Amino acid sequence: MAEEQLQTFLEKVRQLNAFVAQSEAQPELRAALAGCSSHHEVVALARAQGYDIGKRWGEPVADLQTGKLVGAGNLLQSPCPPAGEERLDVLLKSPDLRLERIHSCAHSTASGQWCEQPQSEWVLLLRGSARLRFEDEAGTRDLAVGDSLLIAPRRRHRVVATDPDPGTLWLALFWTPSP
């Protein structure tokens, strides 16, 4: 084990121990912990108390200044952006192609605004769910994990809603269509 990995592991153990001690000393915190039904809920509860226990073995660490992952990344692991926001990471870019990883947290396109780009766009939902609206359709479209969608160039659309923390993860591929 590299020294950096060892230090990351030991710090997580220290924070876990401190969180356990605090939950044993505070009955309301212990009750909240007992009410958690998933890893994400426990991590969020610990985060609200000032502890960072969410890192798993080998999970990359986010640079707190930039929000970018340091080291080899896992597309499914990253800190959730603040509620109402989304973070874009360009994974691949060439003159004719761009691949982005988008992490949305309780995000929606501003009221009255539409997204419209000159490129074709294909999106795949990796985690969470989303609701989209197209200007030329009466209703909304609900997307779940594994759903993909092709959006033609200049087709006006908007994000109606995405999941709260841990958020919605998208993979989006943009390319310029052939004439």
Q: What angle do CA 44, 7, 11 make, to 5 degrees?
A: 35
CA distance 65 to 58: 21
pLDDT at 47: 81
% the chain with pLDDT above 70: 85
Domain boundaries, the chain: 3-59, 85-175
CA distance 22 to 1: 30
Q: For residue 56, what pLDDT band results from cuts at 50, 70 and 90? A: low
Q: Strands 168-175, 97-105: parallel, antiparallel or unpaired by DSSP?
A: antiparallel
Average pLDDT over residues 122-145: 95
Q: What fold characterizes domain 85-175?
A: Jelly Rolls (2.60.120)
More confident position, 3 or 116: 116
3-state SS track over 85-138: EEEEEEEEEECCEEEEEEEEECCCCCCCCCECCCCEEEEEEEECCEEEEECCCC
Average pLDDT over residues 3-7: 74
pLDDT at 61: 47
pLDDT at 70: 45
By CB neighbour count within 10 A (0-12 exposed, 13-18 middle, 19+ buried), where does 49 fall?
Answer: middle
Q: For residue 53, what pLDDT band results from cuts at 50, 70 and 90? A: confident
Asked whether 78 and 69 are in contact (CB, 8 A), the reply is: yes
Average pLDDT over residues 88-98: 87
Please write the tens of the pLDDT for every residue from 107-126: 999 999 999 999 999 999 99
Average pLDDT over residues 10-32: 90
Q: What is the tally of helices (H) and strands (E) in the chain?
A: 3, 10
Round the average pLDDT of the chain to a whole number and report it. Answer: 85
Residue 91 has pLDDT above 80, yes or no: yes
Q: For residue 90, what pLDDT band results from cuts at 50, 70 and 90? A: confident
Please write the tens of the pLDDT for every residue from 23-41: 999 999 999 999 988 777 8
Asked whether 105 and 83 are in contact (CB, 8 A), the reply is: yes
pLDDT at 31: 94
